[in-house]
Amino acid sequence: MTDGRSVQSLTVHHNMHNLPQILELDSKYYLSVSFSHETLAFTRPSSLANLHPLLKYEGPVGSMADIHLYSIPKSNKIQEEVVPSLKAVAGVIRVDLVQMTRKRKREDS
């Protein structure tokens, strides 16, 4: 059940629970961060959330150990601050803004 906000399911798992997470697409940007296997950032991906007070670690993307999802509130200023900070971390290979489309409801003919 949702509270009326637009949400999308993505296979993102919390460390303690193996359940898909609901994403709040109307209020947050989601960033996919890819790591090199040889770095501290790879072994402790949640530690990157300390780069900015509004950056939140969401969890690994599916079963891919080197790609993790983070969220930030929607604000151009925050995104401009956070993305360069993430890219500057040793061992971060790539940072992408996750673009998702909402599924359209099929109409019966």
Residue partners of 45: CB distance under 8 A and separation at least 6: 33, 35, 57, 60, 68
User: What letter represents residue 25's amino acid?
Assistant: L
Domain range summary for the chain, segments of one domain joined by +: 7-97
CATH number of 7-97: 3.30.70
pLDDT by residue, tens only, the chain of 109 residues: 333 433 344 444 444 344 456 778 888 889 999 988 777 666 788 888 888 888 999 988 887 778 899 999 987 677 788 899 999 988 899 999 887 666 666 666 5
Q: Read off the pTM.
A: 0.70
How, if at all, do strands 20-24 and 56-61 pair?
Answer: unpaired
DSSP class of 15: S
